[in-house]
Amino acid sequence: MLAGLNGRLRKSRPMNILTVIEEQGFGVLPEVLLQHETRRLIDDLDQSPLRRSKAGVRHALRHPSVAALAQEPRLLNIAQEVLGAEARPFRATLFDKSPQANWLVVWHQDTALPLRNRHDTPSWGPWSVKDGLVYAHAPASVLRQVLALRIHLDDSTAHNGPLRVLPGTHTEGVLSDDAIHDFAARVEPTDCLVPQGGVLAMRPLLIHASSKSQSDVLRRSCTSNTLRV
């Protein structure tokens, strides 16, 4: 189990993170976790029996250390500052980019959410099943109640395939592929460079992408998705 995560948020946390996320759609908080905490989590995950794909683990809340991390007060405080006191984690994903598992992701929005059951409701869909769970593409009104907290287990640098975002595009609602392509041609992208132990907080409607790593340095991260319930 991940231990020692009940300390206070580091003093380096910017006080205007809510304003930054609301205006830009993302914000970087460095040094949220300490080095020994990220090292312990990496060791726990290396011993995990969870089935991994090339990119990592899709439903990582099944791992006790990830479940503990998602409920950690330092992370919940960030989510609740943005979403309100009712914010709760509902999904976690592990990403493991390395020279052996290297990939790129084109510009997109994160619009699919896991659901307990399928209900054919207007504005939801298309539907799919991923690793045994039902997913549906959600309307913008629901996605605005979601915040992703990406905890970096390694330094994310300009050379190991960092997340890239188009600032401010989270206010445009759910977009078509053509509209996303148009924004990508007009908006200057930003590379999200985050130190080990830092957190990238991001709205799911923010257009983002990731290029292949050009480095031997690992880029591992755990994303906890929170929802205002």
Beta bridge partner(s), residue 128: 135
229 residues of the chain, pLDDT tens digit each? 333 333 333 434 444 888 999 999 999 999 899 999 999 999 998 887 776 666 678 889 989 999 999 999 999 999 999 999 999 999 999 988 777 777 789 999 999 999 988 988 889 999 999 888 899 999 999 999 999 999 999 999 999 889 999 999 999 999 999 999 999 999 999 999 999 999 999 999 999 999 888 887 788 899 999 999 7
In a domain, 216, yes or no: yes
Q: What ranges in the chain are assigned the alpha helix state H? A: 17-24, 35-46, 64-70, 73-83, 140-143, 177-186
In a domain, 28, yes or no: yes
In a domain, 74, yes or no: yes
Q: Residue 172's domain spans which residues? A: 17-108+147-228
Q: What are phi and psi of 165, to 5 degrees?
A: -130, 160
**Number of domains composing the chain:** 1
In a domain, 185, yes or no: yes
Provide the whole-model pTM: 0.89
Domain with residue 163: its CATH number is 2.60.120.620
Q: Is 166 helix (H, G, I), strand (E, B) or coil?
A: coil
Q: How many other C-beta atoms are found inside a 10 Å radius of the C-beta of residue 144? A: 17
In a domain, 191, yes or no: yes
Full strand arrangement of the beta sheet holding 127-130: 112-115, 133-137, 127-130
In a domain, 10, yes or no: no
